[in-house]
Amino acid sequence: MKRIISILVLMIGLGLQAQTALYNSGNIRIHDEGQIGFHTDLINNAAFDQNLGLAGFYGSNTISVSGAFMPAFFDTEIANDQGVLLNIGMSVSSNTNFVAGNFMTPRLQQDIYFNFLQDAFYVGEGDLSKVDGYVTLNNEQNFIFPVGDSEQLRSLTLNSSGTNSFAKCAYYFENPSNPATFPQSFDPTKKPRTMGDISEVEFWHLEGSVSSSIQISWNERSNMAALTEEVAKIIPVGWNIGGKSWVNLGAASVVGDLNQGFLISDNFVPDDYAIITFAAEATAKELLTLDNYLVTPNGDGVNDALYIEELELSNDDTISIYNRQGQKVYEEDNYTNGFTGFSNLDNLVINRAAGLPNGVYFYVIAMKDLKLNYQGFLYLEH
């Protein structure tokens, strides 16, 4: 650890009730090659943003940073097992050295964050030292947010199609459907049928206005086995703010096993989503409790064709439709919502151009690649 000038105590208050802190009212600046070490709280009530050199946070007691102005340091370092609690934001323009302990921000106050200015970077991050709370970036295209909770580093990698003027991220080791410190809960039943279980363990809050992909990882604590038995079915999902439901963000790559791994998402705009977490694609057996269907091809945009969402899971399917006499009136491989009440077979169907008569029909579905077969009824009404 570098040699430093240690500022130990400045007394604020009166008598035995005095509180120890360094109070900045505008008389402090760290010059080039200067070094300052904080072993006590910092109350910053004046501009403290023309700094060079190193500002370190040391000791064995939690240090609080508060005041009316966000301090901005050049290089900073943390070597304090009890951490540094930010009650006001902090900016760094060069290097942050994570040695021991966390910079902590109150998650209920999302406007307080550890801020990396343009071209700022960090080293040494890990489970023992990171940001337990919100991290922001400025004017960067790609960035790895060194976020986590009190116990683990759970970083998120942002790869954007352009420069982010500002982006923000935090990790929550909380159940999205009932979070303790996030101001909104997210209903796990509001999802498409092709989506299976959604994580009840963790999520990330990411803000950014530029189309981006992300990389997030899981470990044993993530309990991915509760979501799926197949790593390939793990997907990133986000709560869409406009649609008020979960959306599959698309997995461009999935690597690892159920105990440890990571995925890279397709591109999306982070600001469209309140939070991001893991889910699993629904398996065919979970989805295929196929119903009876109504087809009303009258041009009103509702049930104009036979649509069976679950067929999207199969890459080798066949659907056959029969009338009540057992006569096959329609058949299609790799079905694409083509049945609109007309036969596509050259058989004994009378007046085929006029469409099939109203009534009950019988369908049979074979999903050959999934080795699944289903059958049921549909009602046709022109």
pLDDT tens readout for residues 303-315:
999 998 878 878 8
pLDDT tens readout for residues 11-66:
333 333 344 888 888 778 889 889 999 999 999 999 988 899 999 999 999 999 99
The pair of structure tokens assigned to 343 is: 């036969």
Task: Indicate the Cα dihedral angle 77, 79, 81, 85, nearest 10°.
Answer: -30
Domains and CATH numbers, the chain: 5-281 (no CATH), 285-380 (2.60.40)
Other residues' Cβ atoms within 10 Å of the Cβ of residue 151? 12
The pair of structure tokens assigned to 200 is: 């009840």
> Sign of the CA dihedral 168, 172, 176, 180?
negative
Closest C-alpha to 188, from 132, 226, 162: 226
**How far is 84 from 103, CA to CA, in rounded Å?**
5
**How far is 357 from 359, CA to CA, in rounded Å?**
6
Confidence of residue 289 (pLDDT cuts 50, 70, 90): low
Question: What is the average pLDDT score of the chain?
Answer: 90
Lookup result for tokens 């009378």: 350
- Residue 211, judged by CB atoms within 10 A of its CB (0-12, 13-18, 19+), counts as middle
Edge-first strand listing for the sheet containing 75-80: 5-7, 35-38, 54-59, 75-80, 95-100, 121-123
The total number of residues shown for the chain amounts to: 382
pLDDT tens readout for residues 89-134:
999 999 999 999 999 999 999 999 999 999 999 999 999 999 999 9
Which pLDDT does position 8 carry in this prediction? 38
pTM across the whole model = 0.75
In angstroms, the first-to-last Cα distance of the chain is 81
Please check the confidence at residue 151 and state whether its pLDDT lies above 90. Answer: yes
Confidence of residue 3 (pLDDT cuts 50, 70, 90): very low
Which pLDDT does position 291 carry in this prediction? 78
What whole-number percentage of the chain has pLDDT above 90?
A: 71
